[in-house]
Amino acid sequence: MNWKELYRNKLTTADEAVRHIGSNSRVVIGHAVSEPTAVINAMVKNAEQYENVEIVHMVSMGQSPYCLPGMEKHFRHNSLFLGASTRQAAAEGRADVTPVFFSEIPRLFRTTLPVDVALIHVSEPDQHGYCSFGVAVDYTKPAAECAKTVIAQVNRNMPRTLGDSFIHVSNIDYLVESDDPIIELSPPKIGEVECAIGKNCASLIQDGDTLQLGIGAIPDAVLLFLKDKHDLGIHSEMFSDGVVELVEAGVITNKKKNFHPGKSVVTFLMGTRRLYDYVDNNPEVEMYPVDYVNDPCVIARNDNLISINSCVQVDLMGQVVSTSVGLKQISGVGGQVDFVRGANMSRGGKTIMAMPSTAAKGKVSKIVPLIDEGASVTTSRYDVNYVVTEYGIAQLKGKTLRERAQALITIAHPDFRPELVQAFEERFHSKFS
């Protein structure tokens, strides 16, 4: 049977497709802005059909209706990274959190968390019957490869991204056509503080470096200050619209990359339609599963790899908390440690932890004598090197505990320096200078 016949035979409605999800099964949803909204909505609309379905998902950029109050009997969300729509459910006991490095999620699906159903969102098939995973290859492709049943939303708005990012129609069980707009993320507001952080980070970046950037105001602010650099490259778990601007400005060329030269390598994307149009059928961008892109050994094959991530708290020893405020889980490790480790092993690489010096509208310092009770260390003091705030740069590797504490106090908000100095002097029995 040719793929067009297969396609016609597998085509169904969302309501019909979700009947193939069984009670007590494990369902994995395509990541971030690739979640198949039409299929998820049908599953939740038909919630009465199911009992105790485990919904595994990482960053959810949609509404996550399966973890709203009233859904407890039907669904239990297992989050690999909490976001705006899932934090409350976790805080109120309606969702669980599994700590896991992004790079290790595919292995979990192949071993301890076998996938019953993968709900994915793909582009239209090409002339050979291959659909592209579009904006998220990451764990989404590996989940589809090991799931017992694959339900795909096929969407003309999904860009056809290149790399190891395809699934053949023959490997999909049920196809649902629905051309919803792909979820877009509006560019964040960049204020004075973010600009100062961006400028400090940019001072650590040289022409020809390869960058990993996260999402949000700080990475976007860093990009603003890279306009006078030359031949930068990208090897990142994700990127957003800011990268498109620098490609168009001729700053990101990937020419100097020693690994995948000429290509931006990435595992998922989040941004506006401008980004999705840029990556569509674009050989400058290659997408691979996350157990490749985020493997620290693969990252380290890029010389001069600069990783830039953000965090919630740093203590005076350089221990970094990124996923919780005290005991309250707010996000997940994602690729932070994958990239910190890869950058540390990269020849000429640097790892940067960039954050505003305060949180909660200036009421608390992010640099603290001790991390909050209940908080978990995300990146250890052995892995951390550069910590950047709007007040400067603290370089920690090779420094004693006393020197680290001094360097960190120097970049703390001036309002909090006196109490940090007091903690320093009590602890180290020496004067702060």
* Single residue of 312, 314, 396, 407 touching ligand COA by CB under 6 A: 312
Site for ligand COA, residues 365 to 394, rule: CB under 6 A: 366
**Closer residue to ligand COA, CB minimum distance, 146 or 325:** 325
Q: Computed from CA positions of residues 61, 63, 69, 71, in that sequence, does the dihedral angle turn out positive or negative? A: negative
Q: Site for ligand COA (CB under 6 A): how many residues? A: 23
Residues 225-254 that bind ligand COA (CB under 6 A): 237-238
- By C-alpha distance, which of 143, 28, 59, 78 is closest to 323? 59
Q: Which stretch binds ligand COA (CB under 6 A): 71-79, 167-175, 359-367, 384-392?
A: 359-367
For every residue of 5-70, DSSP letters joined together read HHHHHHEE-HHHHGGGPPTT-EEEEPPBTT--HHHHHHHHHTGGG-SSEEEEESSB-S--GGGSTT
Q: Answer for the pair 238, 214: CB distance below 8 angstroms, yes or no.
A: yes
For residues 268-283, one letter each, b for 16 or more C-beta atoms within 10 angstroms of the residue's C-beta and e for the rest, the string is bbbbbeebbebbbeee
Specify the residue, 68 or 91, whose C-beta has the smaller distance to ligand COA: 91
CB distance 33 to 58 below 8 Å? no
Q: Which of 5, 145, 177, 237 is catalytic?
A: 237
The answer to whether 411 touches 367, Cβ cutoff 8 Å, is: yes
Kindly tell me which of 359 and 401 has the beta carbon lying closer to ligand COA.
359
User: To the nearest whole angstrom, how small is the minimum distance from the Cβ of residue 9 to ligand COA?
Assistant: 39
Sites for ligand COA among residues 319-358 (CB under 6 A): 322-323, 325, 330-331, 333-336
214 binds ligand COA (CB under 6 A): yes
Q: Decide if residue 215 touches ligand COA (CB under 6 A).
A: yes
Q: Look up 16 and say whether it is catalytic.
A: no
Q: Which residues, 6 or more positions from 211, have their beta carbon under 8 angstroms from its beta carbon? A: 205, 232, 233, 234, 235, 236, 305, 306, 308
Closer of 34 and 313 to ligand COA (Cβ): 313
Q: Which tokens in the block code for residue 240?
A: 């957003």
Stretch that binds ligand COA, among 208-216, 281-289, 381-389, 400-408 (CB under 6 A): 208-216
Q: Which amino acid, one-letter code, is at 368?
A: V
Please tell me the distance from the alpha carbon of residue 134 to that of residue 136, in angstroms, as a whole number.
6
Residue nearer to ligand COA on the CB measure, 30 or 342 = 342
In this structure, are residues 32 and 59 in contact, taking their beta carbons and an 8 Å threshold? yes
Catalytic residues: 237
Binding site for ligand COA (CB under 6 A): 214-216, 237-238, 309-313, 322-323, 325, 330-331, 333-336, 359-360, 364, 366
